[in-house]
Amino acid sequence: MDVDGILTDGTVTLAADGTETKKFSIIDGRGLVRCREAGVILAWISGRASAATTRRARELRIPHVVQGRNDKLAALQALARRLRLTAAEVCYMGDDDVDAPALAWAGIGATVPEAQPAALAAAGVVTARPGGHGAVREVGELILGARVP
């Protein structure tokens, strides 16, 4: 999944000393832990490199974190090849124009209601909850509920 706008509300706060802060939802974090514990492979693909993203990924034990990549489709396809996953086995969440090709390629493309038009058009699932406020948990629960035991 993308990070800014999906795991956060898309807001980045920069202090005068250059430090950056982001708000991550605890609800989403718990949903990611539930998915990881159920065996779902988790990955974050972000166009921006961010120490806040790195730290949150470490806290949640996200095994695959790709930052500084605007070609989300290429990053997602490379990761899928490495993990031996087909497009049909991948769910991708993104909210911006650069996410649209990855959303269209994935077996399940999910976005948030406030996403950009290209992402909304490419996604098959639009969450009820906004980015940074439980949207990731919502999709995680759908995935967990659809899995065959």
For residue 148, what pLDDT is reported? Answer: 64
For residue 54, what pLDDT is reported? Answer: 96
First to last CA, the chain: 24
- Six token digits for residue 135: 């949207």
Is residue 149 situated within a structural domain? no
Q: Would you give per-residue pLDDT tens digits along the chain (149 residues)?
A: 999 999 999 999 999 998 889 999 999 999 999 999 999 999 999 999 999 999 999 999 999 999 999 999 999 999 999 999 999 999 999 999 999 999 999 999 999 999 999 999 999 999 999 999 999 999 999 999 987 66
Is residue 60 situated within a structural domain? yes
Is residue 83 situated within a structural domain? yes
Total-model pTM: 0.93
Structural domain containing residue 82: 13-90+131-139
Centre a 10 Å sphere on the Cβ of residue 113 and count the other Cβ atoms it contains.
13
Is residue 70 situated within a structural domain? yes
Total structural domains within the chain? 1
Is residue 123 situated within a structural domain? no
Q: Comparing C-alpha atoms, which of 102, 107, 108 is closest to residue 138?
A: 108
CB 29 within 8 A of CB 60: yes
Is residue 119 situated within a structural domain? no
For residue 147, what pLDDT is reported? Answer: 75
Is residue 108 situated within a structural domain? no
Is residue 54 situated within a structural domain? yes
Q: Which residues pair with 125 in a beta bridge?
A: 110
Centre a 10 Å sphere on the Cβ of residue 119 and count the other Cβ atoms it contains.
28
For residue 18, what pLDDT is reported? Answer: 86
For 51, list phi and psi in degrees, rounded to 5.
-65, -35
CATH of the domain at 82: 3.40.50.1000
